[in-house]
Structure 1
Amino acid sequence: MRVALLSDCYLPRLGGIEVQVHDLARSLRQAGHEAVVVTATQGPDEPIDDVPVERLAIPLPGGVPVNPLAPPKVRRLLLDGGFDVAHVHMGVVSPFAMDSMRVALGVGIPTVATWHCVLAHAAPLVDAAGYVERWADRGAELTAVSQVAAAPLRRMSGGAPVSVLPNGIDVARWSPGPRPEASTGSLRVVTAMRLALRKRPLDLVKVVARARELAPGADLRLEILGEGPQRRRLEAWSARHGAQEWLSLPGRVTREELHRRYLASDVYVAPAELEAFGIAALEARASGLPVVGPRRSGITEFVADGRDGLLVDDDEQFAQALARLATDADLRDRLGAYARSTPVRQDWGEVVAQTVQAYGRARA
């Protein structure tokens, strides 16, 4: 099958959609399909990891992936490219993806849309615009990366189904391994994120500070891996509150180093409340770490409360959960044992199979 994967954002930009679109394209090609990425992101025209890229970008400040002139080029590419299906990847604000949906449906190519976002405050605007129902009426296969992301779309699809098409990882690459012995009253907490406001890094630091108050005899340490515009605020808060002894900000690391850091930790934390899925949390869970995070986020696709993690409703509960893990060795061991012994289901082989099924529904 020949597939066009259309996305506003793609490598060399770094982010969840960018990496997922690339890994999906590579996994489809490894499964024998012809996958081509079509994007509005500036960058080299050469294939990346043998994945062909068609860049329909214009030079804008900061490399913003916006091109209002792209639709005729998308139309010509889809008509001349011999594609069997167009798979469009949506965020909250995705002008290129929106244009691509209209073009693909207009030329009659079977089309799949995948939302990688929680619409949240944007949901009323999207509902009023009416395009979700229109796309469904024209035969588009509607999907989202989690039940949390799919829920608002189902309310505006006119009764058309919105299935879950999860993100994927290479589970073998993130397999559990030997861990240092944990001591009672010690908790090594880790997370990986872009240091952006919506990811709530400073809120997380305050949660861990509160957990240390709730468990004054415990040694809670937090390591935040990643870079972004909130770094200075984190460093300033740490200096102001004397947190340098328990807060570490190593910056961005390779996937290999990230895996090693997970194996040296006790628990992964996912503080973002508007997380549609949580790829980093899935990688940590695959590495054998229990995960703590919001009950209303996409981590519920692979974390069950009291089984391989703890789900919370607010930051005070978040702090209480970490304090419990620091002081209750039996709970920590039980959650960790399940996480280490039970693989996650979102391996690329399974995700590609589900994706191909979605393509089949679009073509039916």
Structure 2
Amino acid sequence: MSRLRVVHVSDCYPPRVGGIETQVHDLAVRQARAGHDVHVLTATGAAAAGVGHPGGSGHGAAAEPGGPTVHRLATPLTFGVPVHPLEGLLLRRALRELRPDIVHVHAGVVSPFAHAGARAARRLGLPLAVTWHCMLDGVVPLYRAGAALAGWRRAAVALSAVSAVAGERVARVLAVDPADVLVVPNGLDVAAWAPPAGPDDDGAGPAAQPAGGSSVPGVSLPPAGPLRVVATQRLAPRKRPVPLVRVIAAAHERLGRDAAGRPRLHLTLVGSGPAERAVRAEVARRGLGDVVEVAGRLPRAALAGRYRGEHVFLAPARLEAFGIAALEARAAGLAVVAGRGTGVSEFVRDGVDGLLTPDRADGLDDGAADAALAAALVRLAREDGLLAGLLAHNRRVAPAADWADVLAAADALYARARARARR
């Protein structure tokens, strides 16, 4: 594709930490490196809540070295919440000044700034692409009514989502064929996450073992030690960190302790957020002090090293549109356990890269779906050769998450948006 001026619109952006923030930043950086003139309009200040002064500062533009120019339409009046009382006016002004070839809006379930950007682009007649980074379960009727009233079903917009399962919900909201919602997946620098080569390896990680094998070179597996589980997430109710502790408690109850009294299961929970106090209280209430470690937030660059001592990544969220943290763990060689109705199923195959368990997509309620997650952990700890086979495969075969494919998907989305704008 020829050089374009691309403007991304996102409520959230670094230094805030999260899936949308990470992906918008990484996509913008790689598009800039590919030769596009890339700008980001965001309501996240330069010092986001929890990082520095609440809200940060306002309306300046700053070019990231080798990356996009970031326009922070932020105000300290909102105390770090990524919104702006004058967002509509400011976004229209910015888009008039920038005169982009494409406006790429990144939406979540609650994204007032992003939606204001979409309205501004539409009002100005600019080519518009929207990517949904969320699952719209539970809000489809509300969104459907709002989209009909606002005329979005007739709008000249190119639609996309980060996974096919998320895209199916978008199609229902806008009453379009699911094939009309493209997939622009999250991307990853796979090589940066790859596990280190072992002494018997050809450079792609520990050598593969037969599917029925019981060991992986350089990795201690149950029953020689505990099943080591990690979960990396924002500790917020939507990500279900407290139910995660209950899943671990259920699996721990079944696996018990060894002859020395040590648990046969250990969870490292990486992340911070508003539910951290509730998580710690649940750990204490269930007496899981030596089973669950709440590690707090870690820099993204430190995660790959932390994963080297783990076996399994557990993703408990029901509304996971993609699951970038799970993809990072998969690239680091871990087996992944998640519900099969989530976006994690885009890159994890049951019995190959990890275990996908029954969930809402199969008609299960939360209790039954959580029990299925716990049962999967018990299988991995007890079933001879299962965990070894998954780990050997994941250390030998990298996931399909190349940024070249993501950039190509974005180019296809932009071509569709520009074609529709010319109609």
User: Which residue number in structure 2 is paired with residue 257 of structure 1?
Assistant: 302
SS in 1 for 2:79: helix
Q: Is the Cα contact below 8 Å between 1:11 and 1:18 reproduced in 2?
A: yes
Deviation of 1:132 (Å): 9.7
Q: Which residue of 2 aligns with 1:66?
A: 83
Deviation, 1:246, is 1.6
CA–CA separation in structure 1 for the residues paired with 2:176 and 2:237: 35
How many Å apart are 1:217 and its aligned residue? 5.3
The alignment partner of 2:305 has SS state of: helix
- Residues 249 and 286 in structure 2, CA contact (< 8 A), matched pair in contact too: no
Using the alignment, how far apart are the partners of 1:262 and 1:132 within structure 2? Answer: 48
Task: Tell me which of 271, 274, 286 is aligned to 2:316.
Answer: 271
Q: Structure 1 pair 187/273, CA: closer, same or farther in 2 (3 Å)?
A: same
Residue identity opposite 1:32 in structure 2: G
Q: Deviations over 1:50-85 (max 9, x none)?
A: 421112223324211222422233223222313110
> Which SS does the other structure have where 1:257 is aligned?
helix
AA in 1 matched with 2:386 = L
Aligned counterparts, 1:91-240, within 5 A: 91-131=108-148, 134-159=151-176, 161-177=180-196, 178=198, 180-185=218-223, 186-216=226-256, 219-240=264-285
CA distance in 1, matches of 2:129, 2:75: 26
Structure 2 gaps, min length 5: 47-56, 199-216, 259-263, 359-368
Q: CA deviation at 1:338?
A: 2.0
Paired with 1:155 and 1:220, the residues of 2 have a C-alpha distance of 41
Structure 1: gaps spanning 5 or more residues: none
TM-score (norm 1): 0.94
For the structure 1 residues 131 and 60, does the alpha-carbon distance in structure 2 shift closer, same or farther, using more than 3 Å as the test?
A: farther
Give the aligned residue type for 1:183.
L
- 1:6 equivalent in alignment to 2:9: yes
Q: Which has the larger radius of gyration?
A: 2
Aligned length: 364
Match of 2:379 among 278, 299, 324: 324
Percent of matched pairs sharing the same residue: 46
Q: CA deviation at 1:350?
A: 1.7
Partner letter of residue 279 of structure 1?
Answer: I
Q: Which residue of 2 aligns with 1:339?
A: 394
Task: Show the counterpart of 2:31.
Answer: 28
- Would the aligned equivalents of 1:4 and 1:83 in 2 still touch at CA under 8 Å? yes
Q: Deviations over 1:325-355 (max 9, x none)?
A: 0112401011112222222222222211211
Give 2:63's aligned amino acid: P
SS of the residue 2:415 aligns to = helix
- Secondary structure of the residue aligned to 1:130 is helix
Q: Is the 8 A contact 1:133 1:157 kept in 2?
A: no
How much has 1:284 moved relative to structure 2? 0.3
Q: Quick one: which of 63, 68, 75 aligns to 1:47? A: 63
Counterpart Cα distance in 2 of 1:78 and 1:15: 26
Are residues 133 and 60 of structure 1, via their aligned partners in 2, closer, same or farther at CA, if it must alter by over 3 Å?
closer
Which of 104, 111, 128 is residue 87 of structure 1 equivalent to? 104
